[in-house]
Structure 1
Amino acid sequence: MRYRRFGKTNLPLSVFSIGTMRCLASEENARQTVQQAVSLGINHLETARGYGKSEQYLGAALKAGLPLSREQLYITTKIPPTPDADTMRQYIDESLLRLQLDYVDCLAIHGINTWEHLDWVQSGCMQAVVEAVNSDRVRHVGFSTHAPLEVILAAINTDLFEFVNLHYYYFFQHNAPAVELAHQKDMGVFIISPADKGGQLYTPPETLKHLCQPFSPLELNYKFLLSDQRITTLSIGAANPEELREPLTVAEGDEFLTQAEVEVFGRLETHLVETLSTDLCSQCYACLPCPENINIPEVLRLRNLAVAYDMTEYGKYRYRMFENAGHWFWGSKGDRCTDCGDCLPHCPQNLAIPALLRDSHQRLNGQAGRRLWE
């Protein structure tokens, strides 16, 4: 296992972190998963107030004893933004009680996803967080986000935070400016769910597997991220101890991309361009805002992946979150398009956006989905 400095926190975190959202089948399963992770060299454990019994289960695992002492482990919990300090004080107290801890190493404001959330932090709940830091109940403060890029950049620019948890993967690089800004400000960068949200890469389609040979798609995504020295750690949302095996095969690997890996990334890019041709959305985001609140770039990104790499199941998984996950995954589905044409003059590629939105909906629409921990 390799370890990297988590920005200005100066914490030496393992390059993989164990997220405990999915190992909730039982307290014993959570204990075994956490224990196995720590045995394999992971020293950063992450949970959240909103993850069902996750804090409670992690607290029990810590109480039962792990291969590392408390001083060698780094615990993060996440608490949602609140419009007032009193609610945040209550939430911090409750999280520490469930975790059976006197302090957490890191507290992340969970889901600064809108301008309103950012306002709450600046004018409301941050007072309680600062009090917790001053009383040594919280050592370091950051935030997690599923927000549009402009909100993420604004949150980073408040200079209130020491780290950020965000989405950034080979198949979703739109948040690259946030990674760079965080790096410039010496913030730790924690990548959320690279296996799952990064493309359901633990169950890749045959087309994608073939294009990635001799590597697995999951391995390549991990290498893409870990070759970036601005990034500190990647989340593994293991549901059980067995799911720790494949990610950790790259934990000791070279920190730079090999020539063979670079060639595969080139192959993927060439295939994307050749397959989609004049229908390829370049993800410039110039088409926004949409009068019908359609998240046009994200809808078309999912179409890109489905057409080029046969990542249709992943596309359906994400597409069905539209209109069902609130601020965690904003936007309406493609069938909401009214052919108003507002987006067309702004597209530098002259894409037939309304037609592509309808095609995306036909390919990807299915049963409505919700976030796992809801």
Structure 2
Amino acid sequence: MRCLADPEIAYQTVRQSVELGINHLETARGYGQSERYLGLALQRQLPVDRARLYITTKLPPTPDRALMAQWIDESLERLQVDYIDCVGIHGINTPEHLDWVANGSYPAIADAIECGKVKHVGFSTHGSLELILAAIETQLFEFINLHYYYFYQRLAPAIELASKYDMGIFIISPADKGGKLYTPPSNLVDLCAPLTPLAFNYRWLLADDRITTLSLGAATPDELYPSLDIADANYPLTADERAIIDRLGRQLQTSLNTDLCSQCYACLPCPAQINIPEVLRLRNLAVAYEMSDYAKYRYQMFENAGHWFPGMKANRCNECGDCLPRCPQELNIPQLLADAHEKLHTRQGRRLWD
């Protein structure tokens, strides 16, 4: 997604990645020139055969069977390959998206698999846990791309269900979406020592043998190295790593005390359409671990990213009190929302498609 600036940089990044042992290259129709740049890179000399690489591209959900077939052919042409290992439906984020695919365009993907254009089909998602579980239960998909990190464990039931159906489990952006861990605050550095916060998050994921793929998102060859230093460390968590988890848990509890949101989601739905648990998760991270840069980065996406990051900003709270009797911790949610907005609100940034 980030190799958008220059085809030569994209080639050098791809070449260096496969030299270092990466064998899964993922792109998407919606990532600017990424498909075309990857196709150009694949046509140049690489140190491995095409047959040893797994190429994934992602296509938007649509109810139109003919359009989906057209998009598959266009991706094949841009990638300059005879087949695509994995096609993912890019962003099954709403029930309508799932219906579009399951009852509309899925036969086009099945046809592409039948004739050898595509080997496997899956989906990526920024949707609710309930929607993700429903999509897995259709058993139409062989892999899933989703957000799941030490600092965001809401989707643990989806990991469990996908594993039950032997699906490939691809974790989206552990370094960036997992907490902007490539530029961690000093407090988090101390809590995660002797590992870096980035290495700790990778280890927490790699120790889970249900998870099959972590994405890296390097924009240049140099950005490959911090992650690949730990890529083979897929053994169970060590005593030192479990001690880090204990420290992080104590810090969360002591710093937030009675203001700690446990992420039970009982407060939803909110009449003002505020994603209360996510707002308070970001507040938790900012207060407990000084992860304010990450929290602001994610918070500014509310009202700016549609179904990719649904929910209104916390200042939309009208103090109706609807959530208060549902909170098992008896949190003063309107007060915490106001505080979260004060801590996290910043100017709007630009999205990839801008």
Task: Write the letter of the residue equivalent to 2:244.
Answer: V
Contact 2:324 2:333 (8 Å CA) reproduced: yes
| Distance in 1 (alpha carbons) for counterparts of 2:132 and 2:94 | 9
**CA displacement at 1:371 relative to structure 2:** 3.3
Structure 2 residue runs of 5 or longer lacking an equivalent are none
**CA displacement at 1:372 relative to structure 2:** 2.7
Which residue does the alignment assign to 2:173? 193
Matched, 1:357 2:346: no
Task: Write the letter of the residue equivalent to 1:117.
Answer: H
**CA displacement at 1:125 relative to structure 2:** 1.1
The 5 Å alignment of 1:1-374 reads: 21-374=1-354
Contact 1:43 1:74 (8 Å CA) reproduced: yes
| Distance in 2 (alpha carbons) for counterparts of 1:261 and 1:184 | 27
Runs of 4+ in structure 1 over 2 Å off = 369-374
1:345-370 Cα offsets, whole Å, 9 max, x none, are 11110000001001000000111234
Contact 1:82 1:120 (8 Å CA) reproduced: yes
Which residue does the alignment assign to 1:13? none
TM-score by structure 1 length? 0.94
**CA displacement at 1:25 relative to structure 2:** 1.5
| Structure of greater relative contact order (alpha carbons < 8 Å, 6+ residues apart) | 1
Q: Percent identity?
A: 65
| Distance in 1 (alpha carbons) for counterparts of 2:351 and 2:121 | 24
1:164-192 Cα offsets, whole Å, 9 max, x none, are 00000000000000000000011010000
| Distance in 1 (alpha carbons) for counterparts of 2:350 and 2:306 | 9
Task: Write the letter of the residue equivalent to 2:27.
Answer: T
| Distance in 2 (alpha carbons) for counterparts of 1:170 and 1:24 | 29
Contact 1:22 1:239 (8 Å CA) reproduced: yes
| Distance in 2 (alpha carbons) for counterparts of 1:186 and 1:113 | 22
Structure 1 residue runs of 5 or longer lacking an equivalent are 1-20
TM-score by structure 2 length? 0.99
Superposed CA RMSD in Å reads: 0.8
| SS of match in other structure, 1:250 | coil
| Distance in 1 (alpha carbons) for counterparts of 2:337 and 2:67 | 41
Contact 1:321 1:370 (8 Å CA) reproduced: no
**CA displacement at 1:373 relative to structure 2:** 4.5
**CA displacement at 1:66 relative to structure 2:** 1.4
Contact 1:335 1:358 (8 Å CA) reproduced: yes
Contact 2:84 2:118 (8 Å CA) reproduced: yes
**CA displacement at 1:153 relative to structure 2:** 0.4
**CA displacement at 1:213 relative to structure 2:** 1.1
Contact 2:206 2:233 (8 Å CA) reproduced: no
| Distance in 1 (alpha carbons) for counterparts of 2:146 and 2:272 | 26
| Distance in 2 (alpha carbons) for counterparts of 1:90 and 1:370 | 30
**CA displacement at 1:24 relative to structure 2:** 1.4
How many residue pairs are counted as aligned between the two chains?
354
**CA displacement at 1:253 relative to structure 2:** 2.1
Contact 1:190 1:232 (8 Å CA) reproduced: yes
